[in-house]
Structure 1
Amino acid sequence: MPKVYARRLTVAAGSVLALVGTVALTGTTAEAAPPSPPSAATARTYLSEIKEQPEGSSDGYSRDKFPHWITQEGACNTREVVLKRDGTDVKTDDKCAAVSGTWVSAYDDVKTTDASDFDIDHVVPLSEAWKSGASTWTTAHRQDFANDLTHSQLIAVSASSNRTKGDKDPAKWLPPKTSYRCEYARMWVWVKHTYELTANSEEKAKLKEILDGC
């Protein structure tokens, strides 16, 4: 596990949960977005530090090896925290489920007032992480990755965009909204660099192309 990661997760999770408490009381959010990734210049430096390596095997992969949507506080799990964070005017019931609010998908500008229309995307997909180094991690570390509120690893987006993306890396899929691609590349690189995951040559080339144009 990268150094200071556990401490950062604790601090950021506390900040997000403070926001959640505010949402429950006021029905609004102050953020409505994942944590901001580093600048393009910093992301280019991070990208150069990511080890270039062909993707590993998917043998043994299972989503169950990345326990996710764990309880964060009280009745709120990770999915519910992200829905509150990424929406506006979000109101919840006593089980922390979103009963009203507005969400706009950064990937494709799809808008909804029904939280069930949206998925929580792992920016770096779990399968991609497995093939990039996570197969050697402990289950606890994979759980941290799958529920990371500290970095730009989780985002509420339209179900259609998330399912079209699947487990593809940026060489194979990018958000349909072209103006968001720089942000997406910065998010992807931040997560991979933080977790010391590898990237294949096509993936690194596409990320460099995007970041050079930011």
Structure 2
Amino acid sequence: MGGRGTRAVAAVSAAAAVLTGALAGCGPMDDIGLGQSGAADGGVGKGAALGVSPLKNPDGTGPGLAPITTSGDRAEARKLIDKVRTKGRGPKTGYSRDKFGYAWADSVDGVPWGRNGCDTRNDMLKRDGRKIEYREGSNCVVISMTIYDPYTGKTLDWTKQHAAKVQIDHLVPLSYSWQMGSSRWSESKRKQIANDPLNLLPVDGSTNASKGDAGPATWLPPQRSIRCSYAVRFAQVSLKYDLPVTTADKDAMLEQCT
């Protein structure tokens, strides 16, 4: 066959390969973060390195936390934050972590991945991690991975032997929620906010420890580009659970998206 015919066959073959790959789920859509539904790199797509915008992830099942950058999205963010109620911060009297159920319990109703046979911490590592390795014989217990921390902008290599290097942050801290009204909730509702993917983010351990139970007026992620997204996620949790924030915290949240 002549050179022109060979090139024509090659072009047709390449086009067919692209079409086959796309139909098989191997095309450009694989670059979108897919949460636990997806890819061979540990349950998320390649684009999950920076995560998903909270505006496009209202239930928290998408990975990570991507920056909100456009003026239109920032306007949408401010409208959402504006809906959050405000009140004064109450006392911490009576608070304990146990009031929100056993830490990372799977036996929680009404939240994504509740009662799926895998505890909440491992669910979050699976959602946001990449290059995940599991304990032998398990598809739940993560023993190593890499993960992008939106709070610092660093990619962390993590192993279970050094578990505290990555901690799961409650964006709305449980103690904060207690002081803002969850002290009067049912136990089942407190277990929900403690295990809801919307309120959970795996991050650098030392950075999370520095946050304590602070609201956005007194603590924000070190990486400035993520602060509007952090404020939006804080607002999403507050609205879902009808939980007010302080006036100072709401002002700080709005400022991050200005």
Q: Return the TM-score normalized by structure 1.
A: 0.80
Which residue pairs with 1:146 in the alignment? Answer: 194
1:132 Cα deviation (Å)?
1.2
In the TM superposition, 1:45-194 aligns within 5 A as 45-67=79-101, 68-71=103-106, 72-73=114-115, 75-93=117-135, 94-95=137-138, 96-115=140-159, 116=163, 117-149=165-197, 151=198, 153-194=199-240
CA deviation string 1:78-134 (max 9, x = no partner)? 000100111111121234221222112110123322242100000110001111111
Counterpart amino acid of residue 252 in structure 2? K
Which one of the candidate residues 235, 248, 251 is aligned to 1:202? 248
Which one of the candidate residues 54, 58, 63 is aligned to 1:37? 54
CA distance in 2: counterparts of 1:205 and 1:21, whole angstroms:
37
Which range is displaced more, 106-115 or 119-128? 106-115
Residues 129 and 88 (structure 1 numbering): CA distance in 2 closer, same or farther, change over 3 Å?
same
1:33 Cα deviation (Å)?
7.0
Residues 35 and 127 (structure 1 numbering): CA distance in 2 closer, same or farther, change over 3 Å?
farther
Confirm or deny: 8 A CA contact 1:29 1:89 kept in the other structure. Answer: no
1:73 Cα deviation (Å)?
4.8
Counterpart amino acid of residue 44 in structure 2? T
Counterpart amino acid of residue 191 in structure 1? V
Q: Whose RCO is larger (CA < 8 A, sep 6+)?
A: 1
- SS class of match (1:172): coil
- SS class of match (2:257): helix
1:32 Cα deviation (Å)?
6.0
CA distance in 2: counterparts of 1:22 and 1:139, whole angstroms:
33
Flag the structure with larger Rg: 2
Confirm or deny: 8 A CA contact 1:63 1:126 kept in the other structure. Answer: yes
Which residue pairs with 1:14 in the alignment? Answer: none
Equivalenced residue count is 192
CA distance in 2: counterparts of 1:99 and 1:138, whole angstroms:
34
- Alignment RMSD, CA only? 2.2
CA distance in 2: counterparts of 1:20 and 1:181, whole angstroms:
25
Which residue pairs with 2:111 in the alignment? Answer: none
Residues 193 and 120 (structure 1 numbering): CA distance in 2 closer, same or farther, change over 3 Å?
same
1:35 Cα deviation (Å)?
6.3
Q: Which runs of 5+ in 2 are unaligned?
A: 1-33, 56-72, 107-113
Q: Return the TM-score normalized by structure 2.
A: 0.68
Confirm or deny: 8 A CA contact 1:43 1:189 kept in the other structure. Answer: no
Which range is displaced more, 40-49 or 153-162? 40-49
